Structure 1
């Protein structure tokens, strides 16, 4: 197991988290607990119930909720650093924690003052974990009116976090093709969590199917109304999603690099034609690690800048302009694109310098590549590069849309 070697090698300050941030310090403690069985849980899939319990006990689910509702009032920068810290060993828990914030934003951006007060205070008090089942690319659920309520039938795929959530943000389309969304308890009658996620990576995210069989939704559970205008602030959900994923990618790259370094120092053997007695004295090995760490540190700088841009844009609230949102979108797209490419490269190329014995199921080093590969496919790099090219050529920020 990778965890057996981590204490033998000195820390590398440039790769260490900023523990002066109390939220990151809590995440670093949890990461150690998550790391103990990260490989076996990745292989097993299913629900990380013990880890979610630790997450609730830490208070991290309420970190981002404002102090006005009893939460920690953490910045997006802190929250995304927590995501990155978890991803250094467990991309699934990083994803679950990051995506937990998307429905919370929906409540803030689209809910009434009464809804915000009720839901956010309850979330802090019970340390709710939020999930979603309203994938906008799959209009596979619908609802009809029955008395004073909506009755929802159908299903939604890619329902990340649904298998461990206390509250779900669900969605459907009405006859006019308008999207509606509502917040309901995850255990409401008629909600069926299929637990059918079968991805090669992110094995414990529960990103499978949720079915709705005559699920009743009251009007006061709706967020917004059909036909509500999409404002720059409400559309920032996409930027939050992309920010979470870029930090899952980056955390995976950093985690893979550290675990590979530890393995190389303690278990790798020099190649028979290298002419060195220690594998770490091989100039090829040194150069390869130098290349990988430079790319990882560059990706970190882009991620930090993107987080600052997100915080600045989010602070504008409903006054956020299209131009300011566009600036943040470009920074986040750049960081997301580069973090994905770096993570795929690092998590693949580490095997070259660790050696043949590293490529075993028991080591579990492949989880970093599988986690990143699974998510980068949802947002092809080709289209992000075109988006950035269009911005450079025309100066026009991207219009709010899915994945941008």
Structure 2
């Protein structure tokens, strides 16, 4: 247990997997942390580390017990994401988006599709990737007698490299709407291009996926073109937003702990401080107090939002539009604070650790680079706008792929 493990006490969770999942995730995070800095500098595909995730059994965490999974609650899934993100936010991203695709099967698919694909995921230990970027309409879906043919490119496809199956969206021109489907990654005509070159989140396997005359059978279409999205289906965006929230929060916690450990064990007291140890400097203590007040409220709101999401999610088809809207408010609150905590803590830590801490051997810059890249996923200003509207008039956010 790290010296400051008490700072990150996990919130209460429910589900059959609780006794083991936190311990497994903690051990896995410690293993990932040993090489996280070197792998961040190298970039590329973390094939071995993804196998560690597969071997951990955590890929079945959110799958219902009736399909052979562990039946974990969403609060538990988010706690695991956050634990992994403290050590390695790129692989936590890949892990979180795997569970986002599984949630999509539940929210979009019919009972037969759910049973088939979720059972297959358990039996074959499948790792899911994402090719569902809703703003990228370059993949066209052309009608055929028994389904569709897909052609085009999908960008920002997190976890696609090394995945077994993909959740895919494609634009259907006749109806001017998108369809959503599931496909095996290694199907003929699908090529995953590992060309992710951002300065952060370097091992998220978020390259481009190319579709060349790919046959999509009708029984793998989860949401058909022109099919109206139910309130239940629109919960997917809230699951995604709360995954990001816990990624940002995990990075903030990881950065805070890295700074705390460095200050306690290696930093030298400033000559004018009048103390022998940096951790005894009242100004240093004051600044850590300020960072703690960024981190702690973000933790609380993230845990509250996770519980609310779980409550709404379990209502299934009975979810109302207003309940979904109130959930979007809770998630926006949590995401805005996690965004701020991640950015501020990962930047300000250097003012507390000093010049020597910028050495590449520590890799402390990766916390800022990772959270800076990921927080650009969608503009936080629109979350603040939504919260302002709610505060002024009680208007809940309109369902979109981001709100």
8 Å contact kept, 2:107–2:236? no
Contact 1:21-1:78 at 8 Å conserved across structures = no
Range 210-219 or range 249-258, more displaced: 210-219
Provide the residue aligned with 1:62 in structure 2: 60
Q: Residues 1-41 of structure 1, C-alpha deviation per residue, up to 9 Å, x if partnerless?
A: xxxxxx8x733413244696421221101000100000011
Per-residue CA deviations over 1:55-79 (Å, capped at 9, x if unaligned) read 1111111111101111100000000
Q: 1:267 to 1:340 in 2, by over 3 A?
A: same
Provide, for residues 335-386 of structure 1, a one-character-per-residue CA deviation record: whole Å limited to 9, x for no partner. 0001000111111111111110001222111111111111211222221111
Cα deviation, residue 164, structure 1: 2.2
Question: Do structure 1's residue 50 and structure 2's residue 48 form an aligned pair?
Answer: yes
- 2:290 corresponds to which residue? 291
Q: Which residue of 1 aligns with 2:321?
A: 322
Contact kept, 8 Å, 2:294 with 2:340, in 1: the verdict is: no
Q: Unaligned 5+ residue runs, structure 1?
A: 1-6
SS of the equivalent of 2:302 reads helix
Q: 1:253 matched to which residue of 2? A: 252
- Aligned partners of 1:132 and 1:82: how far apart in 2? 19
Q: 2:210 aligned with 1:211, yes or no?
A: yes
2: CA distance, partners of 1:277 / 1:110: 61
Contact kept, 8 Å, 1:141 with 1:155, in 2: the verdict is yes
Task: State how far apart, in whole Å, the 2-side matches of 1:21 and 1:338 are.
Answer: 29
- C-alpha separation in 2, matches of 1:255 and 1:329: 26
Show the counterpart of 2:15: none
CA RMSD of aligned residues (A): 1.5
2:219 matched to 1:220?
Answer: yes
Cα distance 1:145–1:402, how it changes in 2: closer, same or farther (>3 A)?
closer
Deviations 1:237-257 (A, max 9, x none): 110110000000000011111
Give distance in 2, aligned partners of 1:81 and 1:12: 14
Q: Give, in whole Å, the separation in 2 of the partners of 1:16 and 1:164.
A: 33
Q: What displacement does 1:224 show?
A: 2.6
Q: 8 Å contact 1:253–1:296 — kept in the other structure?
A: yes
CA offsets 1:96-139 (integer angstroms, 9 cap, x no match): 11111222122112212221111010101122111111211010
**Mapped pair 1:33 → 2:26:** no
How many residues align? The count is: 397
Query: For residue 264 of structure 1, what is the aligned residue in structure 2?
Result: 263
Aligned to 1:390: 389
Structure 1 position 101 matched with structure 2 position 99: yes
Structure 2 counterpart of 1:123 = 121
Q: Distance in 2 between matches of 1:273 and 1:175?
A: 69
Match of 1:169 in 2: 167
Equivalence for 1:280: 279
- Match of residue 198 from structure 2: 199
Cα contact 1:17–1:85 (8 A) shared by 2: no
Residues 1:396 and 1:146: Cα distance change in structure 2 (over 3 Å) = closer
Gap change, CA 1:294 and 1:272, over 3 Å in 2: same
Distance in 2 separating the partners of 1:392 and 1:31: 39
TM-score by length of structure 2 reads: 0.95
1:88 is paired with a residue whose SS is helix
| Distance of aligned partners of 1:278 and 1:311 in 2 relative to their CA distance in 1, 3 Å threshold | same
Q: 2:22 aligned with 1:14, yes or no?
A: no
Matched residue of 1:275: which SS? coil
SS at match of 2:356: helix
Displacement after TM superposition at 1:298 (Å): 1.4
Q: Which residue of 2 aligns with 1:77?
A: 75
Contact 1:235 1:400 in 2 (8 A): yes
DSSP 3-state at the match of 1:215: strand
> Structure 2 matches for 1:338-377, cutoff 5 A?
338-377=337-376
CA-CA distance at 1:309 after TM superposition: 0.6
SS of 1:234's equivalent?
A: coil
Shift of the 164–114 alpha-carbon distance from structure 1 to 2, 3 Å rule, reads same
Change (3 A) 1:228 1:146: closer
Report the counterpart of residue 331 of structure 2 in structure 1. Answer: 332
Alpha-carbon contact 1:18-1:25 (below 8 Å) kept: no
Match of residue 3 from structure 1? none
Sort the Cα spacing of 1:113 and 1:391 in 2 relative to 1 into closer, same or farther, 3 A: same
- CA distance in 2 between counterparts of 1:285 and 1:164 reads 44
